[in-house]
Structure 1
Amino acid sequence: MMKMIRFLLALTLASAVLAPALARPASINGRWLTEEKDSIITISQCGSTVCGKIERILVQTPDANQKDVNNPNPKLRSRPVLGLPVLLNFRPDDTKWNGKAYDPKTGRTYTTNITLLKNGKLKVQGCVAIFCQSQYWTRAS
């Protein structure tokens, strides 16, 4: 009887410890080609959160020194787009990651969730109020 109680106690303790780890969504870390195929975003750990930066620009604009010209903060408009953080403070939540995404094309920041789909694509869904739009990114080689 005592062995059974110890076993049940150990099982309960193990499930309490493992449950949060099992509930964590699949890792989204890596290099991702955007849906427009105009840039590669590198997603990685940034302290206690996950973030993404523009690693490579694949489609050049007439201004070869692409800057963050649409940023609402005039002080940030001269910073280069290359290396720019565009996915900010993502944290796991059940089957997805929640955070913010900055779009340098518009200068807007969106509430965003990211899900790694079974087909290997990354669903990036940005929302303003109740209006959401999704993009599907693929792994970059």
Structure 2
Amino acid sequence: MTVRKLALLAPFVFAFAASPALAADAIDGVYVDSGGYVEVTVAPCGQARCGKITRIIRRKPGESDRDAHNDDPALRDRPILGLTLLSGLQWRDGAWRGEVYNPEDGNTYRSVVRAGTNGALEVEGCLGPFCRKRIWPAKSR
């Protein structure tokens, strides 16, 4: 290919590389939480991305299969299976930004989510300036 043809194609290549639609595909998939307790499926939900618990691999010792730690007493009896952990994820400033719900403490945090190495998902939950990152490996096939 000549230099001139490459120069003509460059804007299109960069436009597609920076496209949120392509970035959106980068996090869709099935992951295992960092403790190995549940599978989380990340997929489109409206104009955003969400992550729901789609399988319980094993229960935490002493924990039920309900959202027992939720701050809202009316939600404490809802099943963990099907629970949305990641919500409202939208591509901004080089990452997926939204919220992450932690059923271990019943709180929702500001989140930053990125595609990690080896197909993993990097999930960061933040409260004010303090953040905690977890790596969710891709589910083995």
- TM-score tier (shorter): 0.7 to 0.9
Match in the other structure for 1:54: 53
Q: Aligned with 2:52: secondary structure?
A: strand
Equivalent residues of 2:49, 2:87 under 8 A apart: yes
> Which segments of structure 1 move beyond 4 Å, counting only runs of 4 or more?
61-64
Match in the other structure for 1:22: 17
CA positional deviation for 1:71: 0.8
If you compute each CA radius of gyration, which structure gives the higher value, 1 or 2?
A: 1
Equivalent residues of 2:31, 2:120 under 8 A apart: no
What code does the residue aligned with 2:116 have?
L
Aligned CA distance change for structure 1 residues 58 and 94 (closer, same or farther; 3 Å): same
Q: Aligned with 1:119: secondary structure?
A: helix
Q: Aligned with 1:139: secondary structure?
A: coil
CA positional deviation for 1:117: 2.3
CA positional deviation for 1:95: 2.6
Match in the other structure for 1:4: none
Identical counterparts, % of pairs: 35
Q: So what's the TM-score if we normalise by structure 1?
A: 0.80
What code does the residue aligned with 1:55 have?
T
Match in the other structure for 1:130: 129
Cα distance per residue 1:51-74 (max 9 Å; x no partner): 01011112224565x111111111
Stretches of structure 2 that go unaligned for 5 or more consecutive residues are 1-7
Q: So what's the TM-score if we normalise by structure 2?
A: 0.80
Stretches of structure 1 that go unaligned for 5 or more consecutive residues are 1-10
Match in the other structure for 1:79: 78
Cα distance per residue 1:11-63 (max 9 Å; x no partner): 7xx959x73x5323352011001111111100000011100101111222456
1:1-141 to structure 2, matched below 5 A, reads 15=11, 19=15, 21-23=16-18, 24=20, 25=23, 27-60=26-59, 61-62=61-62, 66-141=65-140
